[in-house]
Structure 1
Amino acid sequence: MDFVSIRIITGDINRLVGFYEKITGVQAAWGNEDFAELRTAHGTLAIGSTRTVPLFAPGSARPADNHTVIIEFLVTDVDVLYEKLKNLVEDFVNEPTTMPWGNRALLFRDPDGNLVNFFTPVTPDAIEKFGR
């Protein structure tokens, strides 16, 4: 088995794809007007419109209703990125903070309210864990 992606269902796909393109610097690959992917070296963030939900199972997903998942991106320098994001992100949950497990983390919400974590390993153990 190989984990491939996580998909966000949204009521405004253009807004959400545009947001993730701006904050990640990754250009989305559009499958059609209802589906796009932001592909990175180790995973894909897929974004689908609400019109895709009935293709899987009607009523099985609701946009802007996530209260359990944090979408995480490993970044080179979370502090530098925080300064760049101040004009792009409206809802910061915290400023860059060093966590007990050794990552410096920045938590914020995307336009649909999903939690996003940009993090940089800063302790030797965390650096070794995420060394790529």
Structure 2
Amino acid sequence: MYPTMNAIDLAVADMDKTIAFYAKLGLEFKVDASMPDHASCDLPGGLHLMLDTEQFRASYTPGWKAPSNGSRTFLAFEFPSPAEVDAKFQELKEAGAKEVTAPWDAPWGMRYATLQDPDGNGVDLYAPRPST
């Protein structure tokens, strides 16, 4: 039997700033009243996205330290249209997100863009391009 991968946990430097960033993508995190250094959000399809402060993560993962040279994590968000990718990219950039790759037409048939969340995790925005 294989395990079910049903959750992603991100270690964050500033819980409020990270929650505000992902709210702009439509995610609604709930902070755990008994553990204020932990928040979670249920996503469609049964996936669960969690946020833990760096201090909380380090308290239960001996030896863990926040990466100093960037992240290896990219969360990808699909949009219904290329125009919505462009609009959301601009909105997030104007709100202070760091641009990694401006929207472009990828050869695999998608409109694609990448930004960073407040902790440097990659956030991909994409939509299928209409067939020509």
TM-score range, shorter chain: 0.7 to 0.9
> Higher strand fraction: Structure 1 or Structure 2?
2
Count of aligned residue pairs for this structure pair = 123
Q: 1:109 aligns to what? A: 116
Distance 2:36 2:69 in 1: 22
Aligned pair partner of 1:14 in 3, 13, 16: 16
Aligned pair partner of 1:74 in 73, 78, 81: 78
Distance 1:8 1:63 in 2: 12
**Aligned CA distance change for structure 1 residues 89 and 64 (closer, same or farther; 3 Å):** farther
Identity of aligned residues (%): 24
Question: What value does the CA root-mean-square deviation take over the aligned residues?
Answer: 2.2
Stretches (4+) displaced over 6 A: none
Residue 81 of structure 1 aligns to a residue whose secondary structure is helix
Q: Report the TM-score, using the length of structure 1 for normalisation.
A: 0.77
> Which residue identity is paired with 1:15?
K
- Consecutive unaligned residues of structure 2, counting only runs of 5 or more, are none
Q: Report the TM-score, using the length of structure 2 for normalisation.
A: 0.77
Instruction: Spell out the pairing of 1:1-132 with structure 2 (5 A cutoff).
Output: 1-21=3-23, 23-31=24-32, 32-42=35-45, 43-62=47-66, 66-76=70-80, 77-122=84-129
